[in-house]
């Protein structure tokens, strides 16, 4: 099993029910505050999104930016073709 995002030797003051204490970073989403998008589940004491992804609602306590995406987004590099020169289009006729 993967290492939790926040471990005992960390200095982040995470809440006792925070998913960062039991899950790796790519297994939960982070909201900027409690909302209807990640309601509290009284059955187990945790917050989840509508698709069942665990949610943290105190990003300042775990030292990350709110992202609402699990895993955090990766930078995507899109390679584009170089623009064709207009005169090349007329040559092929």
What DSSP assignment string belongs to 3-61?
Answer: PPSS-TT------TT-GGGTS-GGG-EE-SS--TTS-EETTTTEEB-TTS-BEES-HHH
Model confidence at 72, pLDDT cuts 50, 70, 90, reads low
Query: pLDDT tens across 9-68, in order?
Result: 777 788 888 999 999 988 999 999 998 999 999 999 999 999 899 999 998 888 888 887
pLDDT bucket at 89, cuts 50 / 70 / 90: low
- Dihedral of CA atoms 30, 35, 60, 74 in degrees, nearest 10, equals 20
pLDDT of residue 81: 74
pTM of the full predicted structure? 0.67
| pLDDT tens per residue across span 15-31 | 888 999 999 988 999 99
């Amino acid at each position: 099993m993967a290492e939790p995002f926040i471990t005992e030797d960390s200095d982040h003051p995470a809440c006792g029910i925070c998913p960062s204490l039991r899950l790796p970073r790519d297994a939960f989403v982070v909201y900027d505050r409690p909302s209807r998008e990640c309601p509290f589940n009284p059955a187990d004491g945790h917050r989840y999104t509508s698709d069942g992804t665990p949610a943290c609602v105190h990003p300042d306590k775990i030292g990350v930016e709110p992202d609402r995406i699990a895993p955090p987004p990766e930078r995507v590099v899109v390679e584009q073709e170089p623009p064709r020169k207009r005169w090349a289009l007329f040559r092929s006729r």
